[in-house]
Amino acid sequence: MDSMSSMFDDVRRMNKRQLFYQVLNFAIIVSSALMIWKGLMVVTGSESPIVVVLSGSMEPAFQRGDLLFLTNYKEDPIRVGEIVVFKVEGREIPIVHRVLKVHEKEDGYIKFLTKGDNNSVDDRGLYAPGQMWLEKKDVVGRARGFVPYVGMVTILMNDYPKFKYAILAALGLFVLIHRE
């Protein structure tokens, strides 16, 4: 508790120029992170180049909290066995599952069916009402690599919103107080 009190004392002792400098540093950090994210989107072709596995439906391949790196190059064909991340109408959170079946027409049109490795049935129950197959437009990306358990922080922040605000407040104070 004394450390929190001393942090607030440090902030109170800053003059306007120091406070402005710290806020500016924080803004630079945030804008740099956004630029890196946008750059990754361009390089990978995916609207979400990094995702966190939120459920155990892909165990043992991926565990809850694993961080996945995605690409989504339009020219790459979708194949059986490939792990895709997809969004369906009516659901905000993307789903990470394996391609189970692919139907490809001569004109290049593809439709496919997915299933979680740890699930007993295919994903038709997860798709939009009346939707029996996914199309390429539904794909956010394809898993190309992963780092185990790094995404647990994201899961904690989603499951416990107070934890998220505590982390954000601590990071904000750290940036304001940290002086070179």
Confirm whether 123 is a catalytic residue: yes
Catalytic-residue membership of 57: yes
Say which of 57, 66, 117, 178 is annotated catalytic: 57
Neighbours of 47 (CB within 10 A): 12
Is 9 marked active-site? no
Q: Which residue out of 5, 107, 120, 123 is catalytically annotated?
A: 123
The residue annotated as part of the active site, out of 97, 120, 122, 138, is 97
Residues 142-176 as b or e (16 or more Cβ within 10 Å = b): bbeebeeeebeebbebeeeeeeeeeeeeeeeeeeb
Please list the active-site residues.
57, 97, 123
